[in-house]
Structure 1
């Protein structure tokens, strides 16, 4: 149902907006654009040999939990029929890391975290550049998984994700913390409920208030009910 809800969003309606005040960037992804990135990433996972059911160590949820690329990867891993692992102790088939990470897996994809998803100027020799995803087809396909299949290790199942409450609000979060709770509120909740997310990182309080007003978004915190 999560992937069905994602693909059923109105085309031009914003789903995920990310302000990175360090770089001075604003990236807004509509439901259609977000789903397109997800489809390309699923095809990349397939090309890299990741099979359905194999854990993917998504280190981005620890280092960059509020980035739009992190949210795309979560959705793509689920669409491929794989569970997300926060830690590297799960015999993962693949590690997905940011540019400053020293973590490596059997296969490692490194993400530049550039606002437009551009390539890394100094890609380590033992990594694949996530920018290669731009050459992938955006053909949609998804792996069917049973309700009791793991979605987030160690103990959140696909059925558990589907039972989470959704939100139809436009919510703004600042510097969200690492881990599952941020994914639940920034990605799962708006997809299931038809709402949208604005994430702001590295901004002073007065700037946050201005962005909230401009985006017509309710400022909240991860873990709080809107």
Structure 2
């Protein structure tokens, strides 16, 4: 990161300048066998497209609340930084009825229908696949995002002092997210560029979000994000740690 970074989107821009080709997020789902690896450049491209969808098609802007009804997943990480890019508040597991936009996985569609604003559904299928049949009343993210622009410019400047994230009942500004992520880096074992943290924590607490995205991004490292890792036995887990060259584990 740079000393001038004050939002999560700033952290991603700095990572893109420093080393666009290095891994940033490696995602495993041990219920499906999926493995996806995104470099900084690829992750940033997904963020730009998602931010353009959010700002353009969904009409979200600074201060708007986006309820993220999503598990720990690489696409959730994309949405978190896309919200920060627009200036919208990422409300993790937030109340859809109080949100301007809701983004839902396949298991929370009924709850998401309480949102009176725009609704987006993610199938969370391997390789970002679409729903076989789009849920009624929702835009299918996998259908809508590919045609969005590869570069993003916010319509209005993002104020780092304004709310950017709500998780587990706590609200954080963009600047607070960055400062907390930096402070978490060393305790999490992210001691320098190239550090690689494996996280099996859910995304419903600050600790899970920090280990699973923000701290590795701030430290110039990367995260191996594991969903359903409890399905791995100890031998399988040890093999993953070795094969992925993990330097720190939190689960």
| Greater displacement, 129-138 / 175-184 | 175-184
Please give the secondary structure, in 1, of the residue aligned with 2:98. coil
* 1:46-95 Cα shifts (integer Å, max 9, x gaps): 211112210110111xxx12x10010000000101011112116721100
Equivalent in the alignment of 2:79 = 73
Equivalent in the alignment of 1:56 = 66
Deviating 4+ runs (over 6 angstroms): none
Distance of aligned partners of 1:4 and 1:83 in 2 relative to their CA distance in 1, 3 Å threshold: same
Shift of 1:219: 4.4
Please give the secondary structure, in 1, of the residue aligned with 2:237. helix
Shift of 1:144: 2.2
Distance of aligned partners of 1:183 and 1:33 in 2 relative to their CA distance in 1, 3 Å threshold: same
Of 169, 193, 198 in structure 2, the residue corresponding to residue 172 of structure 1 is: 198
Q: Distance in 2 between matches of 1:71 and 1:135?
A: 20
Equivalent in the alignment of 1:110 = 121
Q: TM-score normalized by structure 2?
A: 0.81
Distance of aligned partners of 1:126 and 1:57 in 2 relative to their CA distance in 1, 3 Å threshold: same
Distance of aligned partners of 1:177 and 1:107 in 2 relative to their CA distance in 1, 3 Å threshold: closer
Distance of aligned partners of 1:175 and 1:4 in 2 relative to their CA distance in 1, 3 Å threshold: closer
Of 155, 159, 165 in structure 2, the residue corresponding to residue 146 of structure 1 is: 159
| Greater displacement, 78-87 / 157-166 | 157-166
Shift of 1:115: 2.3
Q: Does residue 1:189 correspond to 2:189, yes or no?
A: no
Equivalent in the alignment of 1:36 = 45
Please give the secondary structure, in 2, of the residue aligned with 1:178. coil
Shift of 1:218: 2.9
Of 5, 13, 28 in structure 2, the residue corresponding to residue 7 of structure 1 is: 13
Shift of 1:183: 1.3
Cα contact 1:151–1:157 (8 A) shared by 2 = yes
Shift of 1:179: 2.9
Shift of 1:178: 2.4
Cα contact 1:81–1:145 (8 A) shared by 2 = yes
**Aligned alpha-carbon RMSD (Å):** 1.7
Bigger helix share: 2
Cα contact 2:9–2:82 (8 A) shared by 1 = no
Gaps of 5+ in 1: none
Cα contact 1:171–1:217 (8 A) shared by 2 = yes
Gaps of 5+ in 2: none
